[in-house]
Amino acid sequence: MKRKKITLADPIVKDQIKQNINTCWPFKVDETEAWAYWHPAFTPEECEKIIKIVKQKKLEKATISRGYEKDYRDSNISWINVETEHFWIFRKVTDIVTNLNSKFFNFDLYGLMEGFQFTHYKAPGGKYDKHVDSGKGHYIRKLSLSIQLSDPDSYEGGDFKLQTGSESTLLPKEQGKLILFPSYTLHEVTPVTKGERYSLVAWITGPQFK
């Protein structure tokens, strides 16, 4: 059976044009921000308390999907999971993320399914080269957060950068500040050249992007 060729001369098409009917999907302007912040998420005293909590745990070498690669990711990590003694951390961060998401991202979210990752970068060379937090095989990570636990005067280097365009954006280092950004954003921590840098990171999961 021959398929009928549709042209602008077709009566149905002419009628749609006459009635100004738009057969395209409705498009909206993307208002998703590249990143947002909350300061302070934790006081200096609370930051030190979190560092103390995690230092009592056993830290392990951070890995990537291919295993341990010091030239790409050089840091030690531990985890904070939902427990009664740590609930105050989860409660505070959940409230902040909910607030920021409603204002700057408006993503459909589930919550903190993976807990918090405590990361320790140490001079010389502690770093994490450019990477994204989302990808096939992971939970569906939609937002990533990083909380600066260290006093910025206690170390050098260790800059947290987001690749928001042709150049990287250097993010602020205030102790206790929470940075929130889409998990598909390319980002990095540059090598620590002096001292030690402590941070708390987490990923907010949600349903598949559609």
Task: Please list the residues that pair with 205 across neighbouring strands.
Answer: 111, 141
To 5 degrees, how large is the angle CA 107–CA 108–CA 109? Answer: 105
Half-sphere exposure of 142 (CA within 13 A, CB side): 20
- The per-residue pLDDT for 89 is 96
> Mapping DSSP to helix (H, G, I), strand (E, B) and coil, where does residue 51 land?
helix
Structure tokens at 90: 């989860």
pTM of the model: 0.86
Torsion sign over Cα 195, 35, 44, 109: negative
Fold of 36-205: Jelly Rolls (2.60.120)
Mean pLDDT of each 10-residue bin along the chain, 210 residues long: 56 64 72 96 98 92 91 96 90 97 97 95 97 92 98 98 93 97 98 98 95
Q: For residue range 137-156, list pLDDT tens digits in order.
A: 889 999 999 999 999 999 99
Mean of the per-residue pLDDT values of the chain: 91
Query: Who's near 7: CB < 8 A, 6+ residues apart?
Result: 13
In the chain the beta strands, taken as DSSP E runs, fall at 36-38, 60-61, 73-74, 76-80, 116-122, 127-131, 141-148, 155-157, 160-163, 168-170, 178-182, 187-189, 192-205
CB 201 within 8 A of CB 143: no
